[in-house]
Chain A
């Protein structure tokens, strides 16, 4: 029975092994009793425990045995082969100790022998028993019942362990190329016997075999990866170097075919990192070096011919081909510092579809490159912008400001990019803006300026019919080429049901009467998929000791993360508009400080929700208030814009605590103070105006307007009743950038909770023709002059655009425009701010500090730049390239 049971257990085993095992069991069942019985016999019976020997049993011979099958190895019982000196094999359960059982037993035997000294009596008997035991190898035969036998060690020639069977099987599988099964076996083996001798070798062999297989199957890159892995474990593994070379060479050649030298270099360097001076590396690097040298020679020839753009291009190509070549440095430096290209990583290019009628960040960047304003903001002091100018040496008021004389600069630096102007040109420009028949007519400017007199080629004077509070903001855009068309955009619900809803016309650069006179800067020279190139219109002449940025190439990336990676890899040198969480990550990265600057812009960017003044629905103040009070601005800022979970959690907790315990509670106060400190350190803050929080225009008398769902709901009900019981859906235009889109989703959900339906308009579609609300980002430098066009959603301050507003607001804006005294103007502006806030003419969301991240080789960037290309014409780039492939 017992034998039958044992046989049944081994039913899965191949017949030969099962038969052998069964036969062994049959034979051994006739064998002497188990050890325990033998021990008992040793105590009470004087029969020789060694009476039963393998010689008395018929056992299979080693040469007759077949190795265990894969199935047996994977799922069967582990069995060892104890090979006797006679060549016969005892198949048993795994013996112990293992591996190297015999040696370990021998060692134990010798150690035991040493223990004999001093033992007497029972101890000696005990010692004797143990000592004798060590002469034998105890084996367990698979049962049931398990039967233990012992074999004199001297009779055992070797033990083929179960593990060794597995390793042999692995070897066989590898030889067959059966990587999966070999790997499976290996994985199991590693799990169970991680330290078995021979395992590392099998692992390595598996890697090599797998690599070889993958290479033969056309996956050289994965083969190379495996080679690298094997190299880490055993650089000297036979065949590795050759295989790595083959894989790398295939990859390099493929990259060459694809004209991707960076990729080719990358694989070549990987090979070199594994095996320095590998023959493949030596051969190919020589060819690359030769190619790079040839390109550099061509670059030098182009330089001699005066074709600096080509020279720079060839030099950049040369260092891409083989940067480790030291000889390339001088040529690269000469060519790229002569014709400097600044590569900038962006996530949107100008001209790409957008739903809003305003300039997005991309358009603003383009405008700043192309336009040169007569006055530019230099800095903010006390919230007041201070201006600088590239055109004027001085401007002096006379007659209590009623007349002003302007003196143009007569010298010009070769790197200056603004158009050269003399007084007559500037006079023409101004006059065209004062002429009602001209397309450049500026109503506001014409209300200020009475006459323009050109007194000399470099002097002109203006007389004012109305003295402005400050001259610079009024004149700053005089030299900027502006669109000839106002911003148009009809609301979804127009004043009358029959009103034509015209197509949304984004502000666009159009040729105006003075456009030719004002050509300069860095206009767009090419715009293709994935990049836009701006080039300095007035190139610097030859022979200068130093040159400056000539081209700006904006490179498009899918996301800010990709752009950030491109910066680290050296593909681009500057990132102008980064989300805050990446900025914080960069600031926390100490290693980044070595190669990059992170500079804060002097003014934050304000995010607002702009209302279309022509929207009939939003003519109801209650609806505007409801929209405002339905959204939790702080939550959106911390959660979506800054992505600061700590701040968000604290803010939420404070709200909850305050509601539960009241504002005077000690914990509430402590948390409030802590949160206040953290808010101050953060890069974003809630604002109550479309201008920066430090601006002089902010009124200190604003009544707080917090997130209040009850109020929002109440107001929604009120306005619904006023509108006849039905609130029409509102349309919202949102820029395509990620943050506004995410914010918009949350806004829509918040508004829906209080019963206000808002839908997003698709960019560049027929639906984009109408909008009621638009998400807008801006930097309002000078609220005194910028507030009016902001409210009317136009680029100029025209009286006719005010007709949508109540009379008090119209007169307030007109009075502000007319005020000559700065302090009074500020008072009026603050009053207007208070009134606009109470009237909810827009919803200010937050302002976010922006940072410019750029490589240290970019020189000349102002300490606190106003925008990403602030004073670009005086930046210069030091030659640099990544010597190592990424």
Chain B
């Protein structure tokens, strides 16, 4: 394991520990010698690279050798035995009760506690911050993704947990967030309070562990089945509750695009995809991929394993928030979120055999948002968004894992306006059919009763009822306008839906307004009038 290197801006003596268990595990692989040192080490120059930091050799001989000849990049440990390099910069609120001695004791105690709990899984660096490093609670809360990236992009640590310690009303308050280097994601704030100072380190350690998100590599994918390897998964923590993953846990996959120098060029999350742990055995994890992309076919893989210049990873996700707000936004018109859209939350995708009747029905508000409360554990739910009769989209998510999600959908307004017109035309069709029937019955009755004038009048009225051709003209007008609008937006899906909508109605109209049948019924009427002696003449 390469020696630790302190933060380049550290001004105080770091406290280092080397775990016994790490030595034992590494010895099993043979060929790697661990050196535990309490000596200070010179800081390494900052670098944006994600390469494992180069460590200065302890042996002066090695140093001078290094100065003379370029050092070979140290080989990284295998993923499963590679511990997390963790930095915990602790910021104490200015409080007279937090004396220098108590702070130092706290820092040491926290390091010890975490080491006790996590063992070799973490290579830990806990230090008190100063100067520009300080991260009080307010700043911790204001910290966003870009600021965190700016601060820690060149950090050698895999995880950074800026911990804020304060006092209010006699209680110690702890707040922390996780910065994950691999995914370059900042986790949500986790906080804790403690009334008994003696339990401070325990509370602080708990909140740090709560913020921790396991990192996995995607090793292989077959359909929806995914095999993963947990970082430091073989380095089992002494505290069994600190096990990184368990069945049912969820992971958020992402890809790391690398350049030819193995530097990270881009990190690309896999949208609307979650990996649900099926089984976890030390570092090996089997999971199922749940994705909007595999919703229709298992043959389409939701995630892909690592390639030459692409690392395929996933970060554990938990229920962090009381609810998740999903905002539905048209892709081509993001300024106008889809308001009043029907959203149904289901536990599984409906099929013909299983229509999933127990659904939570909601409507988006004026900002296109629906709020789904979190559940007690990480579960996957599907949000089905409808526009009229059509489904705009369906996405899986874990309520509470993310505070807000944005769902891009197609702009359905052309199809919806056609749906409106078709709906009205349907009503007209029903009316036409009903009127024809009633007039026919009345004409028949008049013919039977020999009421010539009434029969003639009714027959005239019957012939004046709009026919199939007129109806089709109206329908064609609607279809043409809708198709043109969809083509203008290059929306083939909408275009095909519009054609289908109009086509269905056209078929119904053709069936019920069949001109031949109508002509035949008219002839029958006239004949029956003649038979009855009505004397009604053909027009």
Contact = CB atoms under 8 A, between A and B. Distances in A.
Bound together? yes
Given A799-B366, A814-B340, A806 B388 contact: yes
Interface stretch (B59-67, B104-112, B202-210, B436-444): B436-444
Given A622-B427, A713-B438, A809 B413 contact: no
Contacts of B364: 799
A637 to B, nearest CB: 24
A815 B414 CA distance: 13
A169 interface: no
B97 interface: no
Contact of A800 (B336, B341, B363, B388): B363
A593 interface: no
A815 B366 contact: no
B198 to A, nearest CB: 41
Contacts of B367: 447
Interface in A704-736: 710-711, 713-715, 717-718
A442 to B, nearest CB: 11
Given A808-B416, A808-B417, A812-B420, A711 B388 contact: no
A447 B419 contact: no
Contacts of A835: 420-421, 424
A808 B340 CA distance: 10
A444 B365 CA distance: 11
Q: Chain A interface mostly helix, strand, loop or mixed? A: helix
B423 A806 contact: yes
Given A710-B461, A811-B416, A799 B339 contact: yes
Interface residues of B, number: 34
A838 interface: yes
B461 A809 contact: no
A799 B431 contact: no
Interface residues of A, number: 31
B508 interface: no
Nearest to A801: B340
A443 B366 CA distance: 8
A754 to B, nearest CB: 10
Nearest to A802: B340
B413 to A, nearest CB: 7
B424 A714 contact: no
B442 A710 contact: yes
A476 interface: no
A399 interface: no
B463 to A, nearest CB: 14
A622 B431 contact: yes
Contacts of B416: 807-808, 811
A621 interface: yes
A714 B437 contact: yes
A803 B363 contact: yes
A629 to B, nearest CB: 9
Interface in A614-664: 621-622, 625, 659
B438 A710 contact: yes
A802 B338 CA distance: 14
A811 B364 CA distance: 12
Contact of A799 (B363, B419, B420): B363
A211 to B, nearest CB: 68
B434 A809 contact: no
B130 interface: no
Given A710-B438, A799-B365, A808 B420 contact: yes
A839 interface: yes
A798 to B, nearest CB: 9
B342 interface: yes
B360 interface: no
A838 B428 CA distance: 9
A812 B412 CA distance: 12
Interface in B482-520: none
Interface in A808-824: 808-812, 814-815, 818
Interface string A428-466: 000000000000000110010000000000000000000
B199 interface: no
Contacts of B461: 710
B424 A839 contact: yes
B423 A714 contact: no
A809 B339 CA distance: 12
Contacts of B336: 815, 818
Given A808-B419, A814-B339, A839 B427 contact: yes
Residue from the set A710, A806, A839 with the largest chain B CB neighbour count within 10 Å: A710
B420 A718 contact: no
Interface in A206-226: none
Contacts of A814: 339-340, 366
A710 B420 contact: no
B451 interface: no
Contacts of B419: 807-808
A711 B435 contact: yes
Contacts of A818: 336
Interface string A193-211: 0000000000000000000
A838 B424 contact: yes
B430 interface: yes
A810 B424 CA distance: 15
A544 to B, nearest CB: 48
Nearest to B461: A710
B51 interface: no
Nearest to B366: A447
B257 interface: no
A632 B516 CA distance: 35
Contacts of A710: 435, 438-439, 442, 461
A717 B438 contact: yes
Interface of A: 443-444, 447, 621-622, 625, 659, 710-711, 713-715, 717-718, 799-800, 802-803, 806-812, 814-815, 818, 835, 838-839
11 contacts: A443-B366, A711-B431, A711-B435, A714-B431, A799-B363, A799-B364, A799-B365, A807-B342, A808-B417, A811-B387, A811-B413
Given A715-B430, A803-B363, 20 more contacts: A443-B366, A444-B366, A621-B427, A625-B427, A710-B439, A713-B438, A714-B437, A717-B437, A802-B340, A802-B363, A807-B340, A807-B342, A808-B416, A808-B420, A808-B423, A811-B387, A811-B416, A838-B424, A838-B428, A839-B427
Shortest beta-carbon contacts, A-B, top 6: A808-B420, A714-B434, A714-B438, A807-B388, A810-B340, A718-B434
